Amino acid sequence: MKLVITFVLLLLASIAYSADPTILAGKWKFNAKDSDDPKQKFQEAMKNRNGGFGPSGPETSNRPGVFSGHQSSRDRDRDRTSLLQPPDWIDISYTSPQVRVIDNRGEERDFYTDGRKTEKEMKDNRKIAWWAEWQDDSLAVTTQAKDGGKVYETYYLSPDQQHLYVKFKVQPLMMDQPVTILRVFDKMPTESAPAQTQNAHP
């Protein structure tokens, strides 16, 4: 009987722990060695398709979508920077139901774990929307671009909680299959967090 009670208590504690987004909070340094190379991922996905790639990554196509010819050059440059150039570090904080993610470039995003939709107008007058929810022990985010393309992000920890994984599933309209990119971040001691880059926005 005691064994059953102990098991139930451990199970309840595990459920309560896994349901708490504070497990993601902290400062995390990008680990390039253990992360996917996004340029290589896109090249592998597109090598047999029209449009192909130039030396800097995805090129334009005549179909609408992320990296498509229907985007302005500024839009394409911004999307490339976001996907192909990960931040040096990110800082995650949680105040229910808000998860805030800030990086060294000054980029800031707020996710709400209650599933509400957030819209933001960019400096170039683009408008993007995203929504998030907490699923067991991970934060699931869906971002909808104005051209219809989508990016799915999942934030979750390694078993020892020393590494943060951010998995991107990118679904541009110009591609039939999504591209999956994994970023790995290592946990940083609070006192060692680098200063935020000034004038990060172009």
What class has domain 23-191? Answer: mainly beta
Q: 89 — phi, psi (to 5°)?
A: -155, 160
CA distance linking residue 38 with residue 126, whole number of Å: 24
Specify the pTM.
0.72
> DSSP label at 129?
E
Phi-psi map region of 12: left, alpha, beta (phi>0 left; psi -120 to 50 alpha): alpha
More confident residue, 80 or 176: 176
Give domain limits for the chain. 23-191
**Tens-digit pLDDT profile for residues 43-62:** 888 775 654 444 444 443 33
The Cα–Cα gap between 31 and 91 comes to: 15
Contact 86, 104 (CB under 8 A): no
> What's the pLDDT band for 199 if we cut at 50, 70, 90?
very low
Name the DSSP letter for residue 99. E
> Mean per-residue pLDDT for 72-94?
73
Which of 21-30, 42-51, 181-190 has the lowest average pLDDT? 42-51
On whether the CB atoms of residues 108 and 102 are closer than 8 A, the answer is yes
Measured between alpha carbons, how far is residue 79 from residues 68, 71, 76 in Å?
11, 10, 5
